[in-house]
Structure 1
Amino acid sequence: MHCFRDKLLKLMQSVNTYGVSCPLLYIKLDFVEKMELEVDENIVFKKSLLDMDSLVDKALQDLEYYESLVCIKNSYSEAFIYAKLQSLLHIEKIPETSSSTPDFKVRHKANDIYIELKSLNMVEGNLKHKTVMHSAMNAKIDAENQIANGSNVGFGFHVIQPYKTGSKEYEADSVRLVIEALISKIGQNIKREQYGLGTTILLVDLADQLPLHSQQEESIQQQYYDIDNRAKLSGELWYVAFGKIGDEIYKISGLKGGQCSDGRLQKEGVLREHPYIKGIIFHVKDCFYGLAPLTRENVSATHFIEYITTAHSFSSS
């Protein structure tokens, strides 16, 4: 198991030679080294490494098989998030059984809090993966041809459209599109029984796969003011959690700046659609950001989310 990093590096190099793989961009080799060093003392690291090891073997046989690459990233995400939470408080991995259960259990202020982890991937990634890889390879070929023809530097360009669905025209500036896509991605495979053991939080790892228009701190506000564009805009993650069908969403108005309508929300926010989920924590660009209903019955969840987001922010600074 202590040579897994080298095997993973071989996969990354093979993919980079051929093109690019979005799921693998999330993985940090120095953390994989940490996992290998601590594998004998950490059951989560051990399981993730074993799962990743067999998946890397499959991926090396077919670099275009997206599902293997996603599963590698998901196994890594579980270990990575577990380690981050473990640095802040006592955490247990809940053993997998035939029935659906959350992933982790933590103890906070004499309360048991359960955590269900979901690691996201780009929309319709299984359909886009080959196109993204081929586009990246063509960009590399263009750059190499420029150098071969005498240029000192070669440039190649390729485009990744993480929220594009089907043949619809891609609205790269749409805030509403991001909100609705995230609601849909998070809503896939939510099982009520995973939230039945007690106060349960949903932890969503965006895993560098689905970018936001706003800065993270702005995204958890219902509205925020964009100084550069002189506009009051909608925070994506706030609406992912609390949005209501029919809410008007605001984005930047073209090249002139200012505010304009991005249409009305067509999906219900995750915490409204699934009220048994007591709060939601987003892992974005290596930081935690959380939202929860501020009710008397939900005090343990709100206190826990406040602790995680502030304690991790402090420990990362």
Structure 2
Amino acid sequence: MKHLIIDSCKFALFLLCLFASPLSRAQETIVSYVTKNGGRTAYKDSAEYTSILRIKPNEQGLYELNDYYQNGNLKRHGWVKAPDPMRLRLEGLVETYYDSGSLETATYYTDNKRIDTAHRYYENGVLKEVKVYLKPKEGQERPAWDGTNKRLLYYADSTGTMQVQHGNGEIVLRHDNGVDFEQGLYKEGLREGRWEGSFRKGKYRFEEWYEEGTVTGGVSTDSVGATLPYKERDVHPEYPGGVQNLRRFVAQHYRYPKEAARAGVKGQVILRFVVDTAGNPTDFEIVNDLGYGTAAAGIEMLKKSAKWAPGYQRGVPVRVAYTLPISLNIADPRQSGNN
């Protein structure tokens, strides 16, 4: 059975990278042709979009970023903390646009994290929602997985009919596939009480209960009436021993190809793969390759890694996409040979 792939951009090792082509415009900008998976290509026609990063800072010390669709319309405008297209750290106001040219979102960032008030619009210009992003709690480095770090203040359908105002109201959220939906109550900006809906193009229906935005329990029902109870809405795949153990595995088992070692290659290989419903890493894809077999060596390493604990969506096993950056430095004795 083919399962939904969920993009796990929330994972700790996830890194969306834009890669730079040679400097142009008299050393004023870095131009990148970005592919669908976040890699780069030398050919504009085969890119998903073009990214232009200005290397002269403004008065606040920030660097202007402009991304463009293939049709030439602006896709994103914002600011980053350093002129490094491989490690974009968004800062300040960032605006995204539909390919038709109309504004889609206006969001504030600090050190690549959403803050303050964010606005989202329908393509016809009607305001869709207003959210407020809260600061992480003390000792919390990243926003909470369950979304309790944000509050929904306003929501309307594409005609402008309000469903949530001042954080309160009954809401029906329609998914982009035109089939699935979620509906329930918002109270003071958080989900509350009983919610219901469907997912995976109507193959499953669900009921779940919330207290102050946190799921306390739920049950999914498939097309033949079988039920799958759950306590967490989304369970992400996990490598045995967690992220730190995965990092140790990579450090201990990745080996430079001999050709790469002789050439003194260093930098960052980025691989994308899927953790399937049995916990196996599969469907490997190269996002960034340093050449000399460096990416192929990373794939061979991952094929020998331990089985993961699989991911779940509302009690249903799902395939989850994962992006892994591998930093290579020939000076690292753990990577300098093929022992």
| TM-score normalised by L of structure 1 | 0.25
Larger Rg: 2
More strand by share: 2
